[in-house]
Each structure stands twice: as structure tokens, then as C-alpha cells.
């Protein structure tokens, strides 16, 4: 068993413009939404003072990456115009880059032009694309040209229709294997080497799909690429528990723990302190001997 696990340890670091990001241990990606319609109100930050405070909080509580989104992709959402997205991101990044110039920045967008503008004006590190290039044919080439780290996420449909009875012809894990294999090959042919894979919990999946992916998350270690898990306060938690996003913290912690134990290297979260505790405890546990 130990020998098999060692074969699929995968990448231990990611590179962005000479900046080496160590992923030998799990990292936390803290969310800042500069939208007005996120599914979780507690993640919305539109005033400059609140954006600055939130960025400081993420870093102080153990976050390594700040993920900024300015166009909601919650189920049923209608996308804002590109110029609105750029304006919102410009406000957020002007604050964060001034106060925390060396922070690892991820931009949550599926628009290649948004990435070009943000990289040109502020310098960013990661593109977090929910569509895996499906919503913008220029995204892969843009990431390659700008030499950025790319989060390759699986989504079935679009944010406006993805949760309208999502179905899969085959086993969802097997289907995602085919999806990731094809996309990774395209990215590597363009010269993109620093890739993170994300199964896309809640993006075109029902509860059974989501929990099947979580239970089999370790299977994706075969790609030898870091796995990102974005489970924080999602409907797969609060609907099953008959509650709401604001009361889904405990469920989020449970699923983040399972994700780490099943191979996740990055947790994308709204609650950084709690995620940091998950990582500290699971890492300590993993280093303890198993008595035969």
C-alpha cells in the first residue's frame, strides 16, 4: 500500500513568474467576492475598506492564496458585462496589491480578456476558470502566453442552467477522467505545465454526483497534479442537512477533512481559520504510525 501511494505523490510545487508555491502540504485559498449576488452573503466584499480587511484576515488566519471573483457563477446566475467585472476586480486588486504586494492572487473568471487586463495592470498568479476554457476559446492560449497557473475545473452546462436536472451517461468519475485527460493534453501542448484540477463540486452535479466525487477524490491523484476542493458552504451540505449557507460551517469542516484525507492539496473556502485547523489536524494524524 505504501509503495502504491508513493507512485502518485505528484507535483510538490507550482511556478508563477519565478514565484515558487510549495504544495507539499495542503494550502488554503480564501475567497473574496466583489459581487452583489453570491450564494453566501458572508463572502461579499464591495467596499475598499472591507476588501482590505478581508485580505488581511485571510492571510492572518493561514490562507496562502486570495481568490477574487467579480462575476457570480452561482446556480441560476446571470453574468455581468465584462467591463463591470473588470471594474470590480480593478478596485479589489488596487487595494490588495498596495497592501500585500507579494500575495498569491487568483482570479475567478472564465473570460480571457479579463485575465489579460488584470495581469497587465496588477500581476496575478492563478486563473480559476470554472469552464475549463469552454466559455472562452482564447482562455488556454492566454494562460499559456502569460505563463499563469491554471485551475482546470469541470462544469456541466453553464451557471444559468447547470443545476437543471444534471445527468451523466456514464460513471461520473470515469467521465471526468476523460474530460481531464483531454483538457490537460491541450494545455500541455500549448506549454501550460502548472495545472490544478478541480472536480467542480456543485457545478452541474446533484448530491449523489458530488458525494461520489468526494468519496473517489483520491482517484484523481493518477494525474499527478494538485487537486482543489471547493466545498465551502455549498448546497450539497446545507440541503442535505436541511439548513442554509450561513449555518453550513460544521458540514463544511467535515467535508474539507474528508477532501484532505482523500488527496486534496488546496481547499477553496470562505472560512480560513477553520480550514487551517482541518489541515493542521489531518497533517498531524497522517504522520502518526499505524500499529499493525
Instruction: Indicate the helix (H) or strand (E) that contains 274.
Output: helix 272-286
Query: What 3-state class would DSSP assign to 130?
Result: coil
CA distances from 150 to 96, 127, 174, 217, 220 (A): 21, 5, 22, 19, 17
Enumerate residues 6+ apart whose C-beta is below 8 A from 242: none
Specify the residue for cell string 493534453.
Answer: 185
Query: What amino acid positions are annotated as catalytic residues?
Result: 234, 268
* Side-chain-facing half-sphere of 175: CA atoms under 13 Å: 16
165: left (phi over 0), alpha (psi -120 to 50) or beta: left
Are the C-beta atoms of residues 101 and 65 closer than 8 Å to each other?
no
Instruction: Indicate the helix (H) or strand (E) that contains 262.
Output: none
Are the C-beta atoms of residues 123 and 17 closer than 8 Å to each other?
yes
- What angle do helix axes 139-146 and 112-122 make, rounded to 10 degrees? 20
Q: Which three cell numbers stand for residue 191?
A: 506549454
Query: What 3-state class would DSSP assign to 195?
Result: strand
Are the C-beta atoms of residues 151 and 187 closer than 8 Å to each other?
no
CB atoms within 10 A of CB 53: 14
Structure letter (DSSP) for residue 81: P
Amino acid at each position: 500500500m505504501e509503495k502504491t501511494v508513493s507512485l502518485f505523490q505528484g507535483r510538490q510545487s507550482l511556478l508563477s513568474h519565478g514565484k515558487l508555491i510549495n504544495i507539499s502540504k495542503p494550502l488554503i485559498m480564501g475567497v473574496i467576492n466583489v459581487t452583489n449576488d453570491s450564494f453566501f452573503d458572508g463572502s461579499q466584499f464591495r467596499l475598499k475598506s472591507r476588501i482590505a480587511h478581508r485580505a488581511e484576515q485571510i492571510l492572518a488566519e493561514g490562507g496562502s492564496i486570495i481568490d477574487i471573483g467579480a462575476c457570480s457563477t452561482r446556480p441560476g446566475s446571470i453574468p455581468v458585462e465584462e467591463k463591470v467585472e473588470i471594474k470590480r476586480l480593478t478596485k479589489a486588486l488596487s487595494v490588495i496589491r498596495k497592501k500585500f504586494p507579494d500575495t498569491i492572487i487568483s482570479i475567478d473568471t472564465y473570460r480571457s480578456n479579463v485575465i489579460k487586463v488584470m495581469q497587465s495592470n496588477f500581476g496575478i498568479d492563478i486563473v480559476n476558470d470554472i469552464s475549463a476554457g469552454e466559455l472562452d476559446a482564447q482562455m488556454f492560449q492566454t494562460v499559456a502566453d502569460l505563463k499563469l497557473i491554471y485551475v482546470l475545473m469541470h462544469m456541466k452546462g453553464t451557471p444559468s442552467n447547470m443545476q437543471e436536472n444534471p445527468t451523466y451517461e456514464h460513471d461520473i468519475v470515469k467521465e471526468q477522467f476523460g474530460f481531464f485527460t483531454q483538457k490537460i493534453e491541450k494545455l500541455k501542448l500549448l506549454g501550460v505545465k502548472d495545472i490544478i484540477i478541480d472536480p467542480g463540486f456543485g457545478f452541474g452535479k446533484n448530491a449523489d454526483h458530488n458525494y461520489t466525487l468526494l468519496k473517489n477524490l483520491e482517484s484523481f491523484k493518477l494525474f499527478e497534479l494538485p487537486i482543489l476542493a471547493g466545498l465551502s458552504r455549498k448546497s450539497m451540505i446545507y440541503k442535505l442537512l436541511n439548513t442554509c449557507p450561513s449555518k453550513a460551517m460544521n458540514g463544511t469542516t467535515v467535508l474539507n477533512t474528508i477532501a484532505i484525507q482523500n488527496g486534496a492539496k488546496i481547499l477553496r473556502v470562505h472560512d480560513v481559520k477553520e480550514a487551517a485547523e482541518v489541515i493542521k489536524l489531518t497533517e498531524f494524524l497522517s504522520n502518526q504510525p499505524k500499529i499493525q
